[in-house]
Amino acid sequence: MTNWVYPAGSASDGPWDLSLGAYDSATTVDGWEHTGLKTATLSDRPLTLDAVAEERIIIPLSGDVTAVVDGQTYRLSGRESVFAGPTDVLYTGVEKAVEISGDAGVRLAVASAPARESYPTRLITKQEAPLELRGAGNCSREVRNFGTPAALEADRFIVCEVLTPAGNWSSYPPHKHDEEKEGQETRLEEIYYFETRVTPDAPAEATDAIGYQRVYASDERPIDVNTEVRTGDVVLVPYGWHGPAMAPPGYDMYYLNVMAGPGPVRSWLISDDPHHGWVRQQWDAQEIDARLPFGR
């Protein structure tokens, strides 16, 4: 059976802590075609990305990043950590060579998707990126929508960050986007890249920050994921119902989502698992978690 879960370090490649689905990724996944993700911890040597037919977004995870595209230098103002607030990001379009640098120890992600249509390189500042508080009660979460169709002109992918406070569930109710139904659902692969932290009020002995992710079959195609996740772990969702992503009490959760597919429309249209979709109706009577947004 195809592996859909990649613990931190299991898909490393040269200077990249993680490299899955990109044009040069050494780790291959059967049937994975539409999305890619790289992460890295910078050293004193720049990282380079070749000019190929994929579009990219560069996302600082911790620290500031400098990127050079077409001879122009872009300085991305980052953050102390993904839990400290939003970040500047850089969309580079297709057939663009990129050189990335920063102080040693700076961490970054590069989301990608094979693409053909050309859109201009664009710096999206942390002030510009739409911030959404989604759900309510213990389904409250924060979504940073810098790479969604409403915020970014792009060819194929949809990219966002989701942050879930300790004790809450996100990616809930379980939903899918694995077939094309005009106006109802779009077929999208999805990458979940996780980071977790112990809540700031936890005692010193609390060090093992964990979360959980669930993926299960929506049709005859088999998939059954119910796994612990920690910082640097990745879960791939090729199809099927997915959710919840659970942040246990004591541990906050972050994930970076990268979605793209073969359909004619760049849009995130989903179907809820009919057994659990009713949960949305309860949110009207509940308040959004007061701990959101992170880093305010």
- 57-100 per-position pLDDT tens digit: 999 999 999 999 999 999 999 999 999 999 999 999 999 999 99
pLDDT of residue 1: 58
Collect contacts of 75-82 with beta carbons under 8 A, ≥24 apart: 76/123, 77/125, 77/126, 78/106, 79/126, 79/295, 81/195, 81/197, 82/161, 82/163, 82/195, 82/254
Mean pLDDT of 237-244: 98
Rounded to the nearest integer, the mean pLDDT of the chain is: 97
Confidence of residue 296 (pLDDT cuts 50, 70, 90): confident
Mean pLDDT of 272-289: 97
**The domain containing residue 255 runs over which residues?**
5-280
Residue 294 lies in a domain: no
Pairing between β-strand 271-272 and β-strand 54-62 as defined by DSSP bridges? unpaired
Residue 161 lies in a domain: yes
pLDDT of residue 44: 87
Confidence of residue 264 (pLDDT cuts 50, 70, 90): very high
In this structure, what CATH number is given to the domain that contains residue 132? 2.60.120.10
Query: Residue 70: left if φ>0, alpha if ψ -120 to 50, beta else—which one?
Result: left
Residue 286 lies in a domain: no
How far is residue 237's CA from residue 287's CA, in Å, rounded to a whole number? 30
Task: Calculate what percentage of the chain has a pLDDT beyond 70.
Answer: 100
Residue 291 lies in a domain: no
Residue 197 lies in a domain: yes
Q: Tens of pLDDT along 16-38? A: 999 999 999 999 999 999 999 99
Mean pLDDT of 233-243: 98
Q: Tens of pLDDT along 110-156? A: 999 999 999 999 999 999 999 999 999 999 999 999 999 999 999 99
Query: Of 169, 228, 165, nearest to 197 (Cα)?
Result: 165
Contact 162, 142 (CB under 8 A): yes
Structure tokens at 251: 């541990």
Q: How many domains does the chain have?
A: 1
Residue 296 lies in a domain: no
pLDDT at 236 over 70: yes
Residue 290 lies in a domain: no
Q: Kindly list the distances between the CA atom of residue 156 and the CA atoms of 38, 187, 266, 278, in Å, as whole numbers in the listed order.
A: 17, 12, 6, 31
pLDDT of residue 195: 98
Mean pLDDT of 152-171: 98
Confidence of residue 2 (pLDDT cuts 50, 70, 90): confident
Residue 273 lies in a domain: yes
